[in-house]
Amino acid sequence: MQILNEILEKIKKYETIIIHGHQRPDGDCYGAQFGLKDVLKTSFPNKNVYVVGETSEYVSFIGTPDTIDDKLYEGALSIVVDTATESRISDKRYSLGSEVIKIDHHIPVDQYGDLIWVDTTFPSCAQMIAYFYKTFENELKMTEVGARAMYTGIVTDTGRFRYRGVSKLTHEIAGLLIEKGADVVEIDNKLSKESIGVFRFKAELLNNAIFDEGFVYGIIKAENVEKYNISMEDAAATVNLFGGIEGYNVWFVAVEYPNEIRLRIRSSGLEIDKLANLFEGGGHKMASGARLNSFDELDKFVSEMRAYIKRYQ
């Protein structure tokens, strides 16, 4: 692709390259950032290459962002990965550089940047960086540090090769990264670690699952999140634990936030976005969000859910 050539030419032109990601970075954001840093640093040892932005405890084994002075942006190239929305770029100084490149696999919200490579057929941004490497395999290099980063990005954004978008190319790239030193068992052990608090929180939540007419749900009280000392991200992510039960093709968690209850609704059959629309929410057909003012409104939501499932199933 022509855009890949243009990106490589830009990279060659600059002495300093600063790689940004999005706020609250996840495994794929880190994977793309540190994967790209490794490829550039290894291929062009004389360039100064930095990763900036927020840290992520969950994937800290991939790398640690650099703390850099504003001055380094003078005459530098900024590359922003995995970020669809300009306001969500972590570390606003990206615009201080001479030019900006955007590399992303999300449906674009803001098309910022002097060069833009957006391809939503890639199930992870890390796969894009590895594909960039593969395209110029004769010119570029990587070490096992970059291979581990990108393999982790692919694994986390595809739910371990399970989601729509995983393709022949995804597996080919994964194989390439293993060849370059990614250790699947080491990476899985790192990603599978959880605190005793998260474990016990989940166990209690699942044990209190409420089975209704064709749907199942969990109630997450703020006091429990506090009691087990877990993050709101960990708490909200538990919605996935209720999926796949025979006869219960819709599931949700109701999470208590300071001034509202946020619902995360999922489905493996019936489209549930229209129901979410009735409760100040929406999203995708099989994965939507909604909100209630308090748990007092939960009965009403559950009644609507029952009626909705009866009507449309």
Confirm or reject binding of residue 188 to its own copies (CB under 8 A): yes
Q: Is the CB of 50 or the CB of 201 nearer to its own copies? A: 201
Q: Retrieve residue 172's tokens.
A: 């080919």
Per-residue binding letters, 219-248, with its own copies (x by CB under 8 A): ------------------------xxxxxx
Distance CA 92, CA 83 (A): 13
Distance CA 191, CA 193 (A): 6
Min separation Cβ 43 and its own copies, Å = 21
Distance CA 20, CA 91 (A): 7
Among 64, 95, 268, 313, the residue binding its own copies under the rule CB under 8 A is 268
Q: Retrieve residue 130's tokens.
A: 């590895």
Confirm or reject binding of residue 176 to its own copies (CB under 8 A): yes
Q: Is the CB of 109 or the CB of 184 nearer to its own copies? A: 184
Among 1, 109, 178, 307, the residue binding its own copies under the rule CB under 8 A is 178
Min separation Cβ 230 and its own copies, Å = 12
Q: Is the CB of 18 or the CB of 182 nearer to its own copies? A: 182
Long-range contacts of 63-70 (CB under 8 A, 24+ apart): 63/30, 63/33, 63/34, 63/37, 63/145, 63/149, 65/33, 68/18, 70/96
Confirm or reject binding of residue 70 to its own copies (CB under 8 A): no
Confirm or reject binding of residue 203 to its own copies (CB under 8 A): yes
Q: Which of 267, 212, 262 is nearest to 233 (CA)?
A: 262
Min separation Cβ 307 and its own copies, Å = 22
Q: What angle do CA 85, 21, 100 make, to 5 degrees?
A: 75
Which residues are CB-neighbours of 152 under 8 A, at least 6 positions away?
27, 30, 31, 59, 62, 126, 182, 187, 190, 191
Count, residues near its own copies per rule CB under 8 A: 42
Confirm or reject binding of residue 57 to its own copies (CB under 8 A): no
Confirm or reject binding of residue 192 to its own copies (CB under 8 A): yes
Which residues are CB-neighbours of 218 under 8 A, at least 6 positions away?
205, 206, 208, 209, 210, 238, 239, 241, 242, 252, 253, 254
Q: Is the CB of 27 or the CB of 53 nearer to its own copies? A: 27
Tokens 């927020």 identify what position? 54
The C-alpha torsion from 130 through 134 and 135 to 140, rounded to 10°, is: 100
- 31, 62 in Cβ contact below 8 A? yes
Q: Is the CB of 68 or the CB of 241 nearer to its own copies? A: 241
Among 57, 70, 179, 296, the residue binding its own copies under the rule CB under 8 A is 179
Among 199, 213, 303, 313, the residue binding its own copies under the rule CB under 8 A is 199
Q: Is the CB of 67 or the CB of 207 nearer to its own copies? A: 207
Among 211, 274, 285, 295, the residue binding its own copies under the rule CB under 8 A is 211
Distance CA 231, CA 225 (A): 7
Give contact residues for its own copies (rule: CB under 8 A). 160-164, 166-172, 174-176, 178-179, 184-185, 188-189, 192-196, 199-200, 202-204, 206-207, 209, 211, 243-248, 268
